[in-house]
A and B are shown apart, each in its own frame.
Chain A
């Protein structure tokens, strides 16, 4: 060290916080500083003249010859290795240490010496291991999620995607990492979508569900368009926004909705256009629905829905006897029997009722009441 006399240099080594050990090429210790004594628990005179393997013993389950390696590193520095190779050291009290070890060769006289520095990295290693475990756990959870997950940076470039995202869009991760998100959107949606993200970026919500109004459509590698729904979240790390989207393909849901709508339309057409008056009743006899013919027969009675089937004005003048007759008929049907009754309380209009129980999973869920005006057939 320029400008420093031998005495000062010795003092500097003594106060150095890093443990320093000087060895000969065969690993015999020549000198140690105070920090090394503290770290290893030995007095200097207990280690000088001893082999460095006293506190850097053969490494358990590793085949490395420590002395040979230290000499090798000193003679042929491979700087990268110093950052990554840790050795297990042992104190006088037989405690294991995790040490970061560096070595430099000192050329002096007929044989070189090796300056070895040791740093106890147990805490760093433990913290790093904990972080690594947490990262691995989260990475595994994300990677196997059924939702496709894609993360983009400020410039909307993809910086993460999981297996489901690869499968959904038909790309391998390496084809998309670093690419603009627009690769996954049909051209006509790209501008609007970027606008959505920018609006979200400027907003104060941490996350939002997008696609409920059908504004998200994805584009697969083979050119198919997919209706999507996505929950998007914003994470700003050191001023840099990242957007992460959990994406669901809603094609199947859309198809199911369409199929349900078509089925409902067919049912409506059949129900409303039937010539028979039809009332759908719940198991207690309350009216759930009436078709057009039934509404005609009831002369547009407004409060029919929710009323008891037998209380409806099926005839212009209803008698208690007729009501009770219909209630008994309903009870037969509610008991599981298809029941038919003809009645004409006013002696003018004769109605023929069929009450049909509808079972599902062993229980009566509905009763279909059909009414037919047969006055003209019996007169």
Chain B
């Protein structure tokens, strides 16, 4: 179980407990948190679960695979902190994670 804080683009914060084994994207969708869509259901095939990780978290989550890097081509306003949240698995190690949403997913 990890507590994850999802920060909307306008600064609204949603702090929820997410079960281990789910993805960070699923944690948002299951809690009806606006700003993360996850249209493809977590297959790394739609780039609608784009988030930014704070600098201090960049090294603490598993690195991007090629597929995620390629899919990020289709996310909006991508930068070096961009991740697809469907590719980050929830575990005790990421307890306290904070993710920030981009302005749009479409």
A contact residues vs B (CB 8 Å cutoff):
59, 61-65, 69, 78, 80-81, 83-85, 125, 129, 132, 136, 139-140, 142-143, 172-174
Contacts and interface: CB of A to CB of B under 8 A. Distances in A.
Nearest to A163: B31
Contact of A81 (B30, B45, B75): B45
A129 B34 CA distance: 13
Given A80-B43, A84-B40, A84-B45, A63 B78 contact: yes
A85 B46 contact: yes
Given A64-B73, A84-B45, A129-B106, A173 B30 contact: yes
B68 to A, nearest CB: 13
B77 interface: yes
B24 interface: no
For the side of the interface on B, what is the size category? 20 to 34
B98 interface: no
Contact of A125 (B32, B73, B106): B106
A143 B76 CA distance: 28
B45 A143 contact: no
B19 A63 contact: no
Interface in B13-55: 17, 19, 22, 30-32, 34, 37, 39-40, 43, 45-48
Given A136-B32, A143-B31, A143-B32, 12 more contacts: A61-B76, A62-B75, A63-B72, A80-B40, A81-B71, A83-B40, A84-B48, A85-B46, A129-B106, A172-B17, A172-B19, A174-B19
B41 to A, nearest CB: 10
Nearest to B102: A61
Contacts of A61: 76-77
Nearest to B76: A61
B19 to A, nearest CB: 5
Given A62-B75, A129-B106, A174-B19, A85 B32 contact: no
B32 A140 contact: yes
B78 to A, nearest CB: 6
Contacts of A84: 39-40, 45-46, 48
A65 B74 CA distance: 9
Contacts of A63: 72-73, 78
B40 A64 contact: no
B37 A132 contact: yes
A140 B30 CA distance: 11
A279 B34 CA distance: 63
B19 A62 contact: no
A80 B45 contact: yes
Interface in B50-92: 71-78
Nearest to A139: B32
Contacts of A69: 73
Nearest to A140: B32
A48 to B, nearest CB: 28
10 cross-chain pairs, A with B, having the tightest CB-CB distances, nearest first: A139-B32, A84-B46, A64-B73, A80-B45, A61-B76, A143-B32, A140-B32, A84-B40, A81-B45, A174-B19
Contact of B73 (A62, A78, A132, A136): A62
B100 to A, nearest CB: 16
B43 A64 contact: no
A125 B105 CA distance: 13
A155 to B, nearest CB: 22
Contacts of A65: 73
Contacts of B76: 61-62
Nearest to A141: B32
